[in-house]
Amino acid sequence: MADNEKEKKAQKQEKPRFTTVDAAILDLCNNVEIPEITCWDRTKKQSPRCSFGEKGICCRICSMGPCRVDESREKLKYGVCGVDSNTVAARNFIRMIAGGAAAHSDHARAGAETFLAAAKGEAPGYAIKDEQKLLQLAMDFDVSVGDRSVQDIAIEVGEKGMGIFGEQFGPIPLTKRAPLKRQKLWAEQGMLPRGVDREIVEIMHRTHIGVDMDPVNLMQQGSRAAIADGWGGSMLATELQDIMFGTPVPILGRSNLGVLEKEQVNIVIHGHEPSLSEMIVAVVQDPEMIERAKQKGAQGINLAGICCTANEILMRHGVPLAGNFLQQEMAIITGAVDAMVVDVQCLMGSLPRVAECFHTKVITTNYRAKIPGATHIQFEEHDAVETAKKIVRAAIDNFPNRKEVYIPDVECDLIGGFSHETINYLLGGMFRASYKPLNDNIINGRILGVAGVVGCNNVKCEHDAGHIDLVKELIANNVLVLQTGCSAVACAKAGLMLPEAAAKYAGPGLAEVCETVGIPPVLHMGSCVDNSRILMAATAMVKQGGLGDDISGLPVAGAAPEWMSEKAISIGHYFVASGVYTVFGTTWPTTGASELTDLLFNGYEEITGGKWDFALESNVQAQKMIDHIKKKREALGIEKARKRILYDMAMRRELDAG
Amino acid sequence: MVDEKKVKKESWTGEDVEVLGETYAEGKPDTPVLWRKKFKNREEMLKYLKSGERYWFSDDWYGSEKRKTPA
Ligand code: SF4
């Protein structure tokens, strides 16, 4: 064997079993004998991957396939039906958008159903908590307010909300929140979404064998569906949840596996929809439940969350984050989780098998998301309190079954709750709420720009490292970072969501602004449907003035360094379709289709003003984002202002002397 | 009124001067910052929409869109 081959082999063997920078996971694997049941073990077993699948050029849409289409090999240039790699990859790509948009929007639909039931008084336990936000949505939906009762308004708002899914002609009313120029561009490009369901169905039709084969035309429909997600389904989910459960305000939270309590019944809520978890938050405080826990030998009940359900209940109640996507199995491995209660999305099919090795009860609660081996307790919004009690009782009764427990002593505080409304309020106050201070500080150069860093974890890369390294690099360069999803959880665990992080990690300009306003340099804006809050913040920046008249002109950029889900592709694409330069890491699903990749990475800038990009390393991603932000600053003519401000003291003295 | 915090900084001319420091409350919030509970009635809520959320709800188009006709 050649020397370098031996070296390569040795390096491969040295690769640690758990590729993560998370101190809790590293501590856990040093102290617990972990059977080969984790996603890291399965990843190893699944390697090497099919390169056609990885490059987006494997088609299995009809039974004449699967076809492996390769533009670089003459004999594999076309699939059996005659399409080339660009068509195959474009169809696969927009099917990912359809999957992601469907997930966010079906989440929104479930929320709208609960909202409507609550408004009609048919869902005891739920109420309209934020009347002001209800009025806001009523105005968006042209629902008259006057002196009508909250209930009346809520019923009409709920019905109009449900309407955005089945609407045939559109446009979806919430798209009217976008900057005027953006709305005009969407209309001109045929991208204004009609109804959410219609756009998703049309993707499935167009990508059926023998229908749409033009990558540009396919991507236009992908864009329309993605906009229906961001400015439709996702935005509606955020708004209805805020009305029912409260618009998030700054709140102290804790993060990482160390939030689990050895002496208490630990219930971990995992998934994405907050309707049930909101009820569990209320029920665990019920004296009857606490008494039951004590009877079983526990000191009390501790609630924690994983993934976006965690973000939802952190933002509104300060319930601690046990971890992000790649920590769901690890939470069970602590032996301290008495029940893992899951709703929808990003659940691992392995949870019941991992639980079997420990003692955790995995409870599915949604008829749309059952897992073989789990206990199913159906969540009924009409009887939510009883459902929540049943689940909490099951967790308490499982406490005496615990075996060995090891909870890593690793946790970190964070401040969450930065809704768009709260940022607006914090920047300007009750009587002059405004994005003006943000825009002014961008114009005067203290803040270079704004970045949205969002998305998942992916076991193909080093867990959390991509998020943390990128965000640290951005804030060091005076870029204010807005976060959601598992990316937010990663940075919370790294201590980046505390006001003191500004002095420690941010560049001097950003640190000064953060200290003045009293905010961290990295703002937790919520779950993945709450990326709609970032769209609102970007729109407010445009409408405030001074930074151009469209999102595409702003010195902003987006990234999902550890993305893995179809939802991430839909989110990324609605940012691109809204005019944002968006960089993904880890892997890119169209690399086998050169023309399509060129369209997404270059051509789209001419169509929507936004475009995709891809880079593996965090520093390259950061540099690309910073370069883009600087390009936009130059186009706005504000790069000069920054240069003037950065005169140092010696230069100023020289000027004075002159 | 809370005590004003003074901090020492270097002035443009290089002298040490005492200036007013940051005015936000230090530390972490023990309880959520419940600013939305300040609205007393619907009138105040609607008024805030027209001012605080004026980018969308003011009668005039705002900022960059002041002089534009709706799309
Ligand atoms: S649709 Fe075409 S490329 Fe895809 S599997 Fe069928 S024959 Fe092959």
The structure tokens listed for A474 are: 């951005």
* Selection from A313, A343, A311, A224 nearest residue A530 by Cα: A311
Is A152 in CB contact (< 8 Å) with chain B? no
A353-357, A515-519, B5-9: which has the highest mean pLDDT?
A: A353-357
Please work out whether the CB of residue A77 comes within 6 Å of at least one atom of ligand 1.
no
Q: In a mutagenesis test of the B interface, which of A147, A239, A252, A517 is the best target, namely the one with the most B β-carbons within 10 Å?
A: A252
Determine the pLDDT at residue B24: 56
* Chain A positions in Cβ-Cβ contact with residue B24 (cut-off 8 Å): 515-518
Domain boundaries, chain A: 85-245, 257-401
End-to-end CA distance of chain A: 71
Of the listed ranges A151-155, A300-304, A314-318, A431-435, the least confidently predicted one is A431-435
* Selection from A132, A88, A376 nearest residue A247 by Cα: A132
Q: In a mutagenesis test of the A interface, which of B19, B23, B28, B57 is the best target, namely the one with the most A β-carbons within 10 Å?
A: B28
Determine the pLDDT at residue B22: 57
Peptide bond into A66 cis (omega under 30): yes
* Chain B positions in Cβ-Cβ contact with residue A417 (cut-off 8 Å): 32-33
Give SS3 for A499: coil
Task: Assess whether pLDDT exceeds 50 at residue A643.
Answer: no
Whole-number Å distance, alpha carbon A90 to ligand 1 midpoint, is 13
pLDDT above 70 as % of chain A: 95
Q: Global pTM?
A: 0.92
Is B19 in CB contact (< 8 Å) with chain A? no
Distance, in Å, from the CA atom of A542 to the CA atom of A652, rounded to the nearest integer, reads: 34
Among the CATH numbers 3.20.20.70, 3.40.50.2030, 3.40.190.10, 3.40.50.300, which is that of A257-401? 3.40.50.2030
Determine the pLDDT at residue B50: 86
The structure tokens listed for A634 are: 């130059």
* Selection from A610, A587, A583, A615 nearest residue A599 by Cα: A610
* Nearest alpha carbon, ligand 1 atom 4: A59
A337-342 vs A265-271, strand pairing mode: parallel
Which amino acid makes up residue B23?
A: T
* Chain B positions in Cβ-Cβ contact with residue A524 (cut-off 8 Å): none
The structure tokens listed for A51 are: 């390169």
Distance, in Å, from the CA atom of A257 to the CA atom of A24, rounded to the nearest integer, reads: 6
* Nearest alpha carbon, ligand 1 atom 6: A62
Are A151 and A169 spatial neighbours (Cβ–Cβ below 8 Å)? no
> For chain B, what's the residue count?
71
Are A107 and A121 spatial neighbours (Cβ–Cβ below 8 Å)? no
- DSSP string for residues in chain B: -PPPPEEEEE-TTS-EEEEE---SPPS--SS---GGGG--SHHHHHHHHHHTTHHHHSSS--GGGTTPPP-
B31–chain A nearest CA distance, Å: 7
Looking from the CA of residue A62, the nearest atom of ligand 1 is: 6
Determine the pLDDT at residue B71: 40
Determine the pLDDT at residue A658: 39
Distance, in Å, from the CA atom of A601 to the CA atom of A628, rounded to the nearest integer, reads: 13
- Kindly give the residue spans of alpha helices, DSSP state H, lying in A545-581: 566-577
Please work out whether the CB of residue A211 comes within 6 Å of at least one atom of ligand 1.
no
Are A280 and A392 spatial neighbours (Cβ–Cβ below 8 Å)? yes
Is A147 in CB contact (< 8 Å) with chain B? yes
Q: Tens digit of pLDDT for each residue in B7-60? A: 666 655 666 776 665 555 566 666 777 888 888 899 999 988 888 888 888 877
Whole-number Å distance, alpha carbon A62 to ligand 1 midpoint, is 5
Determine the pLDDT at residue B33: 76
Task: Assess whether pLDDT exceeds 50 at residue A198.
Answer: yes
Q: Tens digit of pLDDT for each residue in A233-252? A: 999 999 999 999 999 999 99
Query: What is the pLDDT averaged over residues A491-500?
Result: 96
Q: Residue holding tokens 């159903």?
A: A113
**At CA A17, angle to CA A14 and CA A19, rounded to 5?**
95
Task: Assess whether pLDDT exceeds 70 at residue B3.
Answer: no
Distance, in Å, from the CA atom of B54 to the CA atom of A396, rounded to the nearest integer, reads: 49
* Selection from A422, A653, A466, A425 nearest residue A563 by Cα: A466
* Selection from A53, A248, A104 nearest residue A574 by Cα: A104
Residue predicted with more confidence, A315 or A2:
A315
Q: Tens digit of pLDDT for each residue in A432-482? A: 788 999 999 999 999 999 999 999 999 999 999 999 999 999 999 999 999
Task: Assess whether pLDDT exceeds 70 at residue A1.
Answer: no
Whole-number Å distance, alpha carbon A592 to ligand 1 midpoint, is 16
Determine the pLDDT at residue A639: 83
Distance, in Å, from the CA atom of A365 to the CA atom of A449, rounded to the nearest integer, reads: 42
Q: Tens digit of pLDDT for each residue in A127-156? A: 999 999 999 999 999 999 999 999 999 999
For A654, nearest residue in chain B (alpha carbons): B13
How many C-beta neighbours within 10 Å does residue A373 have? 14
Task: Assess whether pLDDT exceeds 80 at residue A48.
Answer: yes
* Selection from A502, A314, A494 nearest residue A419 by Cα: A314
Are A412 and A475 spatial neighbours (Cβ–Cβ below 8 Å)? no
Helix/strand number for chain A, H first, E second: 30, 16
Determine the pLDDT at residue A13: 56
Q: How confident is the model at residue A16 (pLDDT cuts 50, 70, 90)?
A: confident
Q: What are phi and psi of A338, to 5 degrees?
A: -80, -30
- Verify whether the Cβ–Cβ distance A249 to B35 is below 8 Å: yes
Distance, in Å, from the CA atom of A539 to the CA atom of A464, rounded to the nearest integer, reads: 29
Is B53 in CB contact (< 8 Å) with chain A? yes
Query: What is the pLDDT averaged over residues A576-581?
Result: 98
Distance, in Å, from the CA atom of A521 to the CA atom of A483, rounded to the nearest integer, reads: 11
* Chain B positions in Cβ-Cβ contact with residue A252 (cut-off 8 Å): 28-30
Please work out whether the CB of residue A187 comes within 6 Å of at least one atom of ligand 1.
no
Domain boundaries, chain B: 31-71
Domain range A85-245, CATH architecture: Up-down Bundle (1.20)
Please work out whether the CB of residue A201 comes within 6 Å of at least one atom of ligand 1.
no
CB-nearest partner of B70 from A180, A417, A546: A180
Residue predicted with more confidence, A407 or A518:
A407
**At CA A215, angle to CA A210 and CA A220, rounded to 5?**
105
The structure tokens listed for A160 are: 């109009």
Please work out whether the CB of residue A60 comes within 6 Å of at least one atom of ligand 1.
yes
CB-nearest partner of A518 from B14, B24, B61: B24
CB-nearest partner of A543 from B29, B30, B55: B55
* Chain B positions in Cβ-Cβ contact with residue A516 (cut-off 8 Å): 22, 24
Please work out whether the CB of residue A405 comes within 6 Å of at least one atom of ligand 1.
no
Please work out whether the CB of residue A81 comes within 6 Å of at least one atom of ligand 1.
yes
For A149, nearest residue in chain B (alpha carbons): B42
- Verify whether the Cβ–Cβ distance B71 to A252 is below 8 Å: no
Determine the pLDDT at residue A322: 97
- Verify whether the Cβ–Cβ distance B10 to A649 is below 8 Å: yes
Q: How confident is the model at residue A409 (pLDDT cuts 50, 70, 90)?
A: very high
CA distances from A146 to A128, A138, A391, A595 (A): 18, 11, 42, 54
Of the listed ranges A159-173, A396-410, A425-439, the least confidently predicted one is A425-439
How many C-beta neighbours within 10 Å does residue A72 have? 9
pLDDT above 90 as % of chain A: 91
